Amino acid sequence: MVQTVLGIVGGSGLYDIPGLDNAEWRHVDSPWGRPSDDILFAEIDGLPIRFLPRHGRGHKVSPSHINYRANIDALKRAGVTDLVSVSACGSLKEELPPGHFVIVDQFIDRTFAREKSFFGAGCVAHVSVAEPVSPLLADAIEAAARAEGVPTTRGGTYLVMEGPQFSTKAESELYRSWGCSVIGMTNMPEAKLAREAELCYATLAMVTDYDCWHDEHAHVDVASVIAVMKDNTAKAQRLVLNLAKSMPKEHPACPIGSDKALDVAIITPPEARDPALLAKLEAVAGRVFKG
């Protein structure tokens, strides 16, 4: 079986976890451009961990300017098998207050200014993202949250907007009418690219505020969001530490086939594939091309 390597992508403060062993920042080159930052290679209780600051250390990269393809490719090259997205978000439901966590199971992608696939001219592939979250990874996150006493809801839809501005009230009410639970700017196309890279993926959405639909709360502002984020980060650190200690050292097969997503996805026959694109896809899709 394959060794489990846990990847964490999220805010910079998340990586100051006590008890990290053999921690070392390493640059990982990607043919898709420059990732958001170096990757922190470390271990927790013998399990390899890879941390990537999604916005770069110091939060220098906006959601629309993140190189999502380079990030996922670099994490794949770093050996990651399971990727947890730890993401700040706004709440679209009364019962999900600031400080609450949500293990989402669905996404609605409203982004429009981002590269969304590793595949394209020269090699076409269509992966299924009907079930974008790996259930075993979500189970493990839920168990860690319960063990640490972190208020967490299992299940919900994450509306991914383009940003960087927050929603208008009309938009917020529209997303509520769709039944969405939380709103953020970063998990798409990240989740789609993780599926193309055959990574098991799950999101831990940390509520920082009510989106602007809520008349009894102040409209979103950066200062209030940052205050809640600090408390959320401390809870997320405990959760990640617990998660790493409980993860199996050998990676089990994903019950929804996240780790074999490309087996039935590539349309272009071998003789028509562009060699230059295949070279860029070596880390993401090398398993199926070699087969």
Residue stretches of the annotated binding site: 12, 54-55, 87-88, 185-186, 209-211
259 catalytic residue (yes or no)? no
Interior CA angle at 207 toward 204 and 213, to 5°? 135
Q: Kindly give, in sequence order, each residue whose CB lies less than 8 Å from that of residue 100, ignoring residues fewer than 6 positions away.
A: 91, 151, 152, 153, 207
Integer Cα distance of 196 and 36 in angstroms: 19
Integer Cα distance of 192 and 117 in angstroms: 7
Which residue of the set 109, 211, 259, 274 is catalytic? 211
**Residue 191 one-letter amino acid:** A
Which residue of the set 82, 209, 231, 259 is catalytic? 209
Annotated binding site for substrate: 185, 209-211
Residue among 118, 83, 77, 139 at smallest CA distance from 259: 83
Annotated binding site for phosphate: 12, 54-55, 87-88, 186
* DSSP state letter for 12: G
211 catalytic residue (yes or no)? yes
Determine contact, residues 231/106, Cβ cutoff 8 Å.
Answer: no
Q: Which residues are catalytic?
A: 209, 211
